[in-house]
């Protein structure tokens, strides 16, 4: 029988098409394929937030020793509980409690395989027919992919570049309706490099409370703030509105490959438990992969014993890199930076393609830049803003200087002749 005459019973899952829209990794791989293999210069990677490749961004020795000791103990070659080892959950709760006006218990903490699994779990719990979720634009496209996969309608609220990437709260009120289940805030900001003020976060929490929707607080870059705006975690406002906090050790400890994160229910008023969200989180994790057991076992030592001088060193490196990035970008006529970065590891800058020959938009700019200069940066269209660019500055300062110099030379070469 020919294959064309048989009706097969399988088909693609509804939502998979939307979930396959461009991702950071997908576009990064495409840009890497555009590199000129005959260019002998080193590739300058300014497209994604993984500084662990660079000598200056080595993790703390106490973190390495904790993992080694855990592995060599031979106590953690086993499966872990689906919600995480009790000692690790307790350590995360105590770590987060330092910033809170109320107290978390270990029962509020669920360990995940990095922040990605925390995102997946949160959106899987919230997905139901007809529901919608409010996501920031620009934002982190993994939210769009997971929302589509779980049948959530995506509605975007704008971050305003001329107001330091503040949330357009009026936009949120206009977008929300009776089917809105949650809204996401990323602080410190990815991809914008902003840090929201206490007052702004308070208004955000009050807006969510008034609309009757929970907040997903993405704190992947927790405490990586180095500007004039004091960092305040969204979880502080758990008494105002129920908050799902998503975090990990990936960024602050510079270990994204260790794949340890957490989903935390900041809900002192018991709203999430009464609504069944807590039970649903547990059930989702029962059918998910677990983070590696021996790395989980190292978490208490990592969180409790890492010295402040390690964190101070990373903050100083990021501050220096942000200064370099902001200064050098403003020397390039066709690119403008609306706000100096104050946190995270990246910044959004605006491209003016009308000043360039044979370059129509941000995607074409990034592809040709990779091919001609062996520099990788991310086109803003992937993050929701066409003709913007995301530059990651968490690299060696000399590497950043070289990369920005190549971008400037590229723009000069392609500048329109008057």
**Confidence check: pLDDT of 173 > 80:** yes
Strands 388-392, 378-379: pairing is: antiparallel
- Mean pLDDT taken over the chain: 95
Q: For the domain bounded by 21-57+309-414, which CATH number is listed?
A: 3.90.1150.10
* Average pLDDT estimate for 190-219: 97
Phi, psi of 33 (to 5 degrees): -70, -20
Position 2 confidence tier, pLDDT thresholds 50, 70, 90: low
Query: What are the residue boundaries of the structural domains of the chain, listed by start?
Result: 21-57+309-414, 61-305
Position 313 confidence tier, pLDDT thresholds 50, 70, 90: very high
- Read off the tokens for 154: 């995506």
**Confidence check: pLDDT of 21 > 90:** no
Q: What is the pLDDT of residue 25?
A: 86
**Confidence check: pLDDT of 223 > 90:** yes
Position 9 confidence tier, pLDDT thresholds 50, 70, 90: confident
**Confidence check: pLDDT of 324 > 90:** yes
* Average pLDDT estimate for 123-134: 96
Burial of 386 (0-12, 13-18, 19+ CB in 10 A): middle
- Higher pLDDT: 411 or 22? It is 411
Closest to 306 measured CA to CA, from 316, 298, 294, 296? 298
Task: Give Cα 220 distance to the centre of its chain.
Answer: 6
- pLDDT digits over 87-96, tens only? 999 999 999 9
Query: What percentage of the chain carries pLDDT values higher than 90?
Result: 93
Instruction: Report if pTM > 0.75.
Output: yes
Q: What is the pLDDT of residue 4?
A: 61
End-to-end CA distance of the chain: 67
* Average pLDDT estimate for 286-293: 94
Q: What is the pLDDT of residue 17?
A: 56
One-character DSSP codes across 174-222: HH--TTEEEEEEESS-TTT-----HHHHHHHHHHHHHHT-EEEEE-TTT
Q: What's domain 61-305's architecture?
A: 3-Layer(aba) Sandwich (3.40)
**Confidence check: pLDDT of 11 > 60:** yes
- Read off the tokens for 233: 């975690």
Cα distance between residue 99 and residue 104, in whole Å: 11
């Amino acid at each position: 029988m020919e294959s064309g005459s048989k009706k097969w019973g399988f088909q693609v899952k509804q939502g998979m098409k939307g979930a396959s829209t461009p991702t950071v990794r997908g576009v990064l791989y495409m840009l890497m394929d555009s590199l000129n293999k005959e260019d002998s210069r080193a590739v300058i990677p300014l497209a994604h937030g993984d500084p662990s490749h660079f000598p200056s961004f080595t993790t703390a020795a106490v973190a390495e020793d904790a993992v080694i000791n855990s592995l060599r103990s031979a106590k953690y070659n086993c499966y872990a509980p689906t919600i995480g080892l009790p000692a690790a959950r307790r350590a995360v709760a105590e770590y987060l409690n330092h910033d809170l006006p109320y107290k978390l218990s270990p029962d509020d903490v669920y360990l995940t395989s990095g922040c990605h699994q925390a995102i997946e779990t949160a959106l899987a719990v919230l997905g139901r027919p007809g529901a919608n979720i409010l996501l920031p634009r620009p934002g982190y496209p993994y939210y769009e992919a997971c929302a589509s996969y779980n049948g959530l309608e995506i509605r975007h609220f704008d971050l305003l570049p001329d107001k330091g990437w503040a949330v357009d709260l009026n936009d949120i009120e206009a977008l929300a309706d009776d089917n809105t289940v949650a809204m996401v805030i990323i602080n410190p900001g990815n991809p914008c490099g902003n840090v929201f003020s206490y007052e702004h976060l308070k208004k955000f929490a009050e807006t969510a409370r008034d609309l009757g929707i929970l907040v997903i607080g993405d704190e992947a870059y927790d405490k990586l703030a180095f500007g004039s705006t004091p960092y305040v975690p969204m979880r502080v406002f758990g008494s105002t509105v129920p908050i799902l906090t998503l975090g990990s050790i990936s960024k602050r400890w510079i270990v994204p490959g260790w794949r340890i994160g957490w989903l935390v229910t900041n809900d002192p008023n018991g709203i999430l438990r009464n609504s069944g969200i807590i039970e649903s989180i547990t059930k989702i994790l029962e059918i998910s992969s677990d983070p590696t057991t021996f790395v989980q076992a190292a978490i208490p030592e990592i969180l409790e014993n890492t010295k402040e001088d390690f964190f101070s060193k990373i903050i100083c490196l990021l501050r220096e890199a942000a200064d370099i990035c902001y200064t050098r970008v403003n020397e390039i006529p066709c690119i403008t930076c609306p706000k100096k970065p104050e946190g995270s590891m990246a910044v959004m800058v605006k491209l003016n393609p009308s000043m360039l020959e044979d370059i129509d938009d941000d995607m074409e700019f990034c592809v040709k830049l990779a091919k001609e200069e062996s520099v990788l940066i991310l086109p803003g269209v992937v993050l929701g803003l066409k003709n913007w660019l995301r530059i990651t500055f968490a690299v060696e300062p000399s590497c950043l200087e070289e990369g920005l110099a190549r971008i400037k030379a590229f723009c000069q070469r392609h500048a329109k002749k008057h």
